[in-house]
Amino acid sequence: MQKRKLGNSNLEVSALGLGCMGLSHGYGPATDAGQAVSLIRAAVERGVTFFDTAEVYGPYLNEEVVGAALAPVRDQVVIATKFGFTFGDDNKQQILNSRPEHIRWAVEGSLKRLKTDVIDLLYQHRVDPDVPIEDVAGTVKDLIAEGKVKHFGLSEAGVQTIRRAYAVQPVTALQSEYSLWWREPEQEILPALEELGIGFVPFSPLGKGFLTGAIKDGATFGSDDFRSKVPRFSPEAIKANHALVDLLGQLAKDRGVTAAQVALAWLLAQRPWIVPIPGTTKVHRLEENLGAASIELSQTDLGRIAQALAEVRIQGDRYPAALQARVGR
């Protein structure tokens, strides 16, 4: 597995990481803990060194699974987790909270669940409008000085927030959605990251499964599947957006690879400091995804993709309105 550095930092990780959220949260019932541990260890065996989790996934369950899976190889891997929420009395509400005292409380919990004495990369999960980002960055700076955290990251933050945070504590990585069907970061985010020397970690690099071609017209999702609430996965949007999958599938067929591999290879080709984190619950999908790291798209391939993208108008918002209001701040 090839390695990449996140921006100007010395944080080196595998070119593709593993997004662990779906093992415990967001896409239906949680995977059996033993199976989830096996999947994560299978990723380690195949060269993955970068694992992404968060306290909100579960809540808490995903960090426990990741901690159990990686404890035997802790010195060989990079673990990223996130703070930024409290969960109400029922553990289901997600209430923004990045107050300094809460960040410290969250980090202590994450350290225990992850079975480690240091978090390699700590993200603010979403910007909290009630807490100045300078206070957030300053708290993480103190945690770095104390040896509990190595690197500071932000998730779904806007450019001005990134700049303000960076002025207090250098930001190693931004994690936000980026894929062939969500390219908004190209407008302002990527140029700012390049200027500041910040790495980029795209989540949902396969469009929450859509870019694999596995989601067909007429697909439905259970009430415990996040996609049931996403406008982009309405029946009408799925039907309209299949034009992109069809074009992707044709290019993949010509290359003798899969649509998912083309989608991931396209992301890797955008910048040398981009590290996508596709998630899966299946070892054969893990192997398929990791195969993308060895696919080098030619300028002809990239030109065909650009032309195809210009011809397809993606329909449907990527988030319901309430969640969309939390991003880009």
pLDDT in tens, 259-308: 999 999 999 999 999 999 999 999 999 999 999 999 999 999 999 899 88
Which pLDDT value is given to residue 239?
A: 93
Average pLDDT (157-183) is: 97
- Residue 322 in this model has a pLDDT that exceeds 90: no
Q: Which CATH number fits domain 3-324: 3.30.70.2190, 3.30.70.20, 1.10.10.10, 3.20.20.100?
A: 3.20.20.100
Question: Token pair of 189, please?
Answer: 């985010």
Structure tokens at 22: 């779906």
Element holding 80 (H helix, E strand): strand 78-83
pLDDT digits (tens, 9 = 90+) for 95-149: 999 999 999 999 999 999 999 999 999 999 999 999 999 999 999 999 999 999 9
178 is catalytic: no
- Note whether 201 and 52 are within 8 A (CB): yes
- Read off the pTM: 0.97
pLDDT score at 283: 98
For the chain, the domains span 3-324
β-sheet bridge partners, residue 121 = 80, 151
What backbone phi and psi angles, to 5 degrees, belong to 321?
-55, -40
pLDDT tens digits, one per residue of 215-260: 999 999 998 999 999 999 999 999 999 989 998 999 899 999 999 9
Count of beta carbons in the 10 Å neighbourhood of residue 217: 9
Of the pLDDT bands very low, low, confident and very high (cuts 50, 70, 90), residue 92 is confident
**Residues 54, 232: Cα–Cα separation, whole Å:** 24
**pLDDT given for residue 125 in this prediction:** 98
Instruction: Note the pLDDT tens digit of each residue in 10-37.
Output: 999 999 999 999 999 999 899 999 999 9
pLDDT digits (tens, 9 = 90+) for 171-209: 999 999 999 999 999 999 999 999 999 999 999 999 999
Confirm if 53 and 63 have CB atoms less than 8 A apart.
Answer: yes
Residues 6 and 15: their CA atoms lie apart, in Å, by: 10
Q: Indicate whether 79 pLDDT > 90.
A: yes
Alpha-carbon gap, residue 51 to 80, rounded angstroms = 6
DSSP 179-239: BTTB-GGGTTHHHHHHHHT-EEEEESTTGGGGGGT---TT----TTBGGGG-GGGSHHHHH
Q: What's the pLDDT score for residue 311?
A: 87
Identify residue 244 by its one-letter amino acid code: L
**pLDDT attached to residue 127:** 98
Residue 69 has pLDDT above 90, yes or no: yes
pLDDT band at residue 82 using 50, 70 and 90 as cut-offs: very high
Instruction: Please tell me the predicted confidence (pLDDT) of residue 308.
Output: 83
Task: Report in angstroms the alpha-carbon separations of 232 from 19, 228, 235, 253.
Answer: 21, 10, 9, 26
> Residue 291's pLDDT is what?
98
What pLDDT is attached to residue 258? 97
> Quick one: pLDDT at residue 30?
94
Q: Determine which one of 27, 57, 166, 178 is catalytic.
A: 57
Return the pLDDT at 196: 98
